[in-house]
């Protein structure tokens, strides 16, 4: 199998996507990877495996690579004697944040008929915006943390008692997230969050909770990862979370009782449903006094959460054979022909 890995993008998480893509080179042993980089200007480049190093991108050496064009059924390299198609079986969308998780890549792949592993457009809309995630979860009976919503320019008087967590609504990797313990810290935390988004969520800081991560997908069956309990202090900030994006070794399963584990898996399945078919996602949950809360959906998790699975590579291959495609609509112009015929008779 040939798997194209699409990474980079015009996103605050551009560099994290590069780290994830480099990690994939170590993960796939039997699968040939075709690396396609998306620059901040949204130009496509075909990257040789030997050049999959962070310095190659930070130094802009990638501009020496072959530029690609996206056309019907895939990518091509232009040349003097015509276009040459870049051959692969399936594309793995590994662009974190904007472009990759907001639906742009999904729309492009659907439009050009490229088979791809990634959330589809509706799933992107629900998971990219944390507000929409909460509304979606509520509609399917999955609990979430209470919240306040602030728009840029609104009053900054919040009703939620301190301490609180302040987070941009449309950003991942804990970028722009702050914990506020004192009133004097609130303005600065909001300034930081509003640098990245004009919509900000304020949530109560929940003490005495446990956090668990559950990843998985649906092929012809449920394929769920182990449940992980991430090691953290008060909350998982960007620096700690950044390390997840380069993980390629397996982690141990959480020490969790069967009842809580079953609740987490049931909640994950409800979230995934049919909406996320064709993708590998990770959901982060909180547990407090036996109650399970969805914290967030990671539609394209760091390094695809490979470290939570026993047979990640084989699972990707299985998923690639059971993707969710748009309905093929046949256009026969029967309606227009009927109008033309009616006019002719008149």
Kindly state the average pLDDT of the residues 278-307. 95
Q: What is the pLDDT of residue 162?
A: 94
Q: Which tokens sit at 6?
A: 């699409």
What's residue 78's pLDDT?
A: 85
Compute the distance between CA of residue 170 and CA of residue 128 in angstroms, rounded to an integer. Answer: 6
User: Among 15-24, 59-68, 201-210, 232-241, which stretch is predicted with the lowest mean pLDDT?
Assistant: 232-241
Helix (H, G, I), strand (E, B) or coil at 197: coil
Whether cis (ω within 30° of 0) applies to the bond prior to 113 is: no
Q: How far is CA 84 from CA 66, 67, 79, 81, 87, in A?
A: 11, 12, 7, 9, 9
CA distance 57 to 45: 11
Structure confidence at residue 303 (pLDDT): 93
Reported as type and span, the H/E element at residue 165 is strand 164-168
How sure is the predictor about 250, in pLDDT bands with cuts at 50, 70 and 90? confident
Mean pLDDT over 284-288 rounds to 95
Distance CA(175)–CA(135), nearest Å, equals: 22
Least confident range from 36-40, 240-244, 294-298: namely 240-244
244 band by pLDDT with thresholds 50, 70 and 90: low
What's the pLDDT score for residue 345?
Answer: 58
pLDDT for res 322: 86
Task: Count Cβ atoms within 10 A of the Cβ of residue 246 and give its class: 0-12 exposed, 13-18 middle, 19 or more buried.
Answer: middle
pLDDT in tens, 155-186: 888 999 999 999 998 876 678 899 999 999 99
pLDDT for 276 beyond 70: yes
Q: What is the spatial distance between Cα 338 and Cα 190, in angstroms, rounded to a whole number?
A: 60
The domain defined by 2-118 folds into: Rossmann fold (3.40.50)
Residues 111-122 have a mean pLDDT of 96
Q: What is the pLDDT of residue 325?
A: 79
Query: Does residue 185 contact residue 193 with C-beta atoms inside 8 Å?
Result: no
Please tell me the total number of residues recorded for the chain in this structure.
Answer: 346
What radius of gyration, in Å, describes the C-alpha atoms of the chain? Answer: 22
Name the residue with higher pLDDT: 96 or 237. Answer: 96
Lowest-confidence segment of 3-12, 14-23, 39-48, 205-214 by average pLDDT = 205-214
Q: Is the pLDDT of residue 72 over 70?
A: yes
* Residue with tokens 């009133």, as numbered in its chain: 183
> Distance (Å, rounded) from C-alpha 118 to C-alpha 91?
9
pLDDT score, position 247: 62
Whether residue 231 is predicted with pLDDT greater than 80 in this model: the reply is no
CB atoms within 10 A of CB 209: 16
Tell me which of 214-223, 225-234, 334-343 is least confident. 225-234
Contact between residue 232 and residue 286 where contact means Cβ atoms under 8 Å apart? no
Look at residue 23 and give its three-state secondary structure. Answer: helix
Q: Where are the domains of the chain?
A: 2-118, 125-144+207-320, 148-204
pLDDT attached to residue 252: 87
- Contact between 104 and 81 (Cβ < 8 Å): no
Provide CB contacts within 8 A for 71, sequence distance 6+: 83, 112
Share of the chain above pLDDT 90, in %: 80
Mean pLDDT within 135-153: 94
Bin 176: left if φ > 0, else alpha if -120 < ψ < 50, else beta.
left
pLDDT (average), residues 46-68: 97
What is the average per-residue pLDDT within 297-311?
Answer: 95
199/262 Cα distance (integer angstroms): 34
The CATH number fitting domain 125-144+207-320, selected from 3.30.450.20, 3.30.43.10, 1.25.40.10, 3.30.470.20: 3.30.470.20
Q: What is the pLDDT of residue 321?
A: 93
**What pLDDT score was predicted for residue 172?**
66
User: Domain spanning 148-204: which CATH class is it, in words?
Assistant: alpha beta
User: Rounded mean pLDDT of the chain?
Assistant: 91
List residues bridging with 45 in a β-sheet.
Answer: 37, 67
């Amino acid at each position: 199998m040939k798997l194209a890995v699409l990474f980079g993008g015009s996103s605050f998480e551009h560099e994290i996507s590069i780290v994830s893509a480099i990690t994939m080179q170590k993960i796939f042993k039997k699968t040939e990877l075709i690396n396609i980089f998306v620059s901040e200007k949204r130009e496509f480049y075909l990257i040789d495996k030997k050049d999959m190093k962070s310095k190659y991108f930070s130094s802009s050496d990638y501009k020496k690579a072959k530029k690609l064009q996206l056309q019907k059924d895939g990518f091509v390299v232009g040349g003097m004697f015509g276009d040459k198609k870049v051959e692969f079986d399936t594309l793995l969308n590994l662009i974190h944040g904007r472009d990759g998780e907001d639906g742009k890549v999904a729309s492009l792949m659907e439009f050009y008929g490229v088979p791809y592993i990634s959330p589809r457009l509706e799933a992107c809309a629900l998971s990219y915006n944390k507000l929409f995630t909460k509304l979606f979860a509520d509609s399917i009976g999955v609990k979430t943390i209470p919240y306040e919503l602030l728009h840029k320019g609104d009053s900054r008087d919040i009703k939620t008692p301190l301490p609180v967590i302040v987070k941009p609504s449309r950003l991942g990797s804990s970028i722009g997230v702050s914990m506020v313990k004192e009133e004097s810290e609130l303005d600065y935390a909001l300034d930081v969050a509003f640098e990245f988004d004009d919509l900000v969520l304020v949530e109560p800081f929940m003490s005495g909770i446990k956090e668990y991560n559950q990843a998985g997908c649906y092929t012809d069956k449920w394929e769920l990862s182990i449940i992980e309990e991430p090691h953290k202090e008060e909350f998982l900030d960007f620096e700690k979370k950044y390390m997840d994006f380069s993980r390629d070794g397996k982690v141990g399963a959480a020490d969790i009782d069967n009842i809580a584990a079953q609740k987490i898996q049931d909640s994950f399945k409800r979230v995934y449903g049919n909406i996320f078919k064709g993708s590998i996602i990770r959901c982060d949950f909180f547990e407090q006094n036996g109650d399970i809360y969805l914290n967030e959906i990671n539609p394209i998790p760091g390094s695809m959460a490979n470290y939570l699975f026993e047979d990640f590579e084989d699972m990707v291959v299985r998923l690639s054979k059971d993707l969710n495609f748009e309905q093929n609509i046949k256009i026969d112009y029967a309606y227009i022909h009927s109008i033309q015929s009616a006019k002719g008779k008149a």
